[in-house]
């Protein structure tokens, strides 16, 4: 089940709701990444507390461990990880793309070796959709081919051809109305190929579309340019998802381009390495200047961590190598991005998006 309603716009920014099997998501929304059925260091209870509406897990990693049989025996992914709100699963296409020396692509699918034990596995568009549906997730991404940048025109064209072919097969393989299947637009840094990819996928009438192949090493200017270009090609009455983006600046640029959904490991990865995310920029909590700082991580943040602990305490935890520091900072970083989305939605609703956008950008 997937029903998207676009309620209002402010400039290019969009305010909507996405009704899914396990709940309704207010958009624009940021999805914390729970790659292997866990958002690193954060309990489901804490995710609900900090305002997460939907999380992302990864087909590649769950396929390898714990595997389909275990996940089905445990009642599906929601029950397994004690998360009762929506889940989106990436197809694993990007992970396979990153395993360049350990995989072999052909038109039928991709054969790859596990990064865990070297065992051989096979993904096809049908097997990936079957796996995602069996997990009971709310949104399943199709298997696609992401090209390494910079890419030749021939490589981009081949990627678009294969992505469309696999998307057709994935659409035909659907068996469950409880899981919405989203297509993924590819095309590298080539407007003509992105337009072709979007046109071919729109013809398949997916309930939502992702913009893939960006945030993979290109410049920020290129990412923003091709995000805006691609978003404008997509149906306005369906949700638009920019994959793999999670800094404040990039989220603001994405919303301004008309994006509804985002995901990234960045906030929790930063949290594990002592990097605090705020709307005024980022900083390293280990810096000596914070050793006796009684203030919160972010004076404008009302999350449980900022209400309770000082910068001095967080700095101490990281210097002492205590795992609590990583948990607390990851919590704050996720709360900072979910709060940013809440305020963005309010600004779009009130018609003040441009002022909100400019105030954030000027503070960074």
The residues carrying an active-site annotation are 90, 263
| Structural contact between residues 340 and 301, judged by C-beta atoms closer than 8 angstroms | no
Beta strand 29-32 with 55-58 is unpaired
Torsion angles phi and psi, residue 178, rounded to 5: -80, -20
Torsion angles phi and psi, residue 211, rounded to 5: -100, 110
**Tokens at residue 5, please?**
């309603």
Beta strand 261-264 with 29-32 is parallel
Q: 228-266 in b/e burial notation, b at 16+ Cβ within 10 A?
A: bbbbebbeeebbbbbbbbbbbebbbbbbbbbbbbbbbbb
Work out the angle at residue 252's Cα, subtended by the Cα atoms of residues 247 and 258, and round it to the nearest 5 degrees: 125
Question: In whole angstroms, what is the distance from residue 153 CA to residue 40 CA?
Answer: 38
Q: 33-45 in b/e burial notation, b at 16+ Cβ within 10 A?
A: bbbebebbbbebe
**Tokens at residue 33, please?**
């990444």
Question: In whole angstroms, what is the distance from residue 96 CA to residue 185 CA?
Answer: 17
| Structural contact between residues 154 and 190, judged by C-beta atoms closer than 8 angstroms | no
Name the residue with tokens 């049989």. 69
State the helix-helix crossing angle for 220-233 and 191-202, rounded to 10 degrees: 40
Question: In whole angstroms, what is the distance from residue 144 CA to residue 219 CA?
Answer: 22
| Structural contact between residues 88 and 31, judged by C-beta atoms closer than 8 angstroms | yes
The counts of H helices and E strands in the chain are 15, 16
């Amino acid at each position: 089940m997937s029903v998207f309603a676009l309620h209002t716009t402010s400039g290019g920014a969009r305010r909507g709701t996405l009704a899914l099997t396990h709940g309704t998501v207010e958009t624009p929304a940021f999805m914390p990444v729970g790659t292997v059925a866990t958002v690193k260091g954060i309990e489901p209870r804490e995710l609900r507390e900090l305002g997460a509406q939907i999380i992302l897990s990864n087909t590649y990693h769950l396929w390898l461990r714990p595997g389909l049989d275990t996940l089905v025996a445990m009642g599906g992914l929601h029950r397994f990880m004690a998360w009762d709100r929506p889940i989106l699963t990436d197809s694993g296409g990007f992970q396979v793309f990153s395993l360049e020396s350990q995989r072999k692509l052909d038109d039928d699918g991709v054969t790859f070796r596990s990064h865990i034990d070297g065992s051989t596995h096979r993904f096809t568009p049908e097997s990936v959709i079957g796996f995602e549906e069996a997990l009971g997730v709310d949104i399943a991404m199709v298997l696609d081919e992401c090209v390494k940048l910079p890419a030749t025109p021939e490589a981009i064209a081949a990627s678009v051809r294969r992505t469309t072919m696999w998307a057709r097969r994935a659409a035909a393989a659907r068996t469950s109305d409880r899981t919405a299947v989203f297509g993924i637009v590819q095309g590298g840094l080539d407007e003509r190929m992105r337009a072709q990819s979007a046109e071919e996928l729109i013809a398949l009438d997916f309930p939502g579309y992702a913009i893939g192949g960006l945030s993979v090493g290109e410049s920020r200017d290129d990412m923003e340019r091709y995000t805006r270009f691609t978003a404008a090609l997509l149906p306005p009455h369906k949700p638009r998802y920019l994959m793999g983006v999670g800094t404040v600046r990039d989220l603001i640029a994405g919303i301004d381009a008309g994006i509804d959904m985002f995901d990234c490991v960045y906030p929790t990865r930063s949290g594990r390495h002592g990097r605090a995310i705020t709307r005024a920029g980022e900083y390293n909590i280990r810096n000596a200047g914070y050793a006796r700082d009684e203030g919160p991580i972010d004076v404008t943040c009302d999350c449980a961590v900022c209400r309770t602990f000082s910068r001095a305490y967080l700095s101490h935890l990281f210097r002492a190598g205590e795992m609590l520091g990583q948990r607390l900072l990851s919590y704050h970083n996720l709360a900072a991005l979910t709060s940013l989305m809440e305020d963005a939605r309010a600004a779009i609703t009130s018609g003040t998006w441009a002022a909100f956008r400019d105030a954030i950008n000027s503070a960074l």
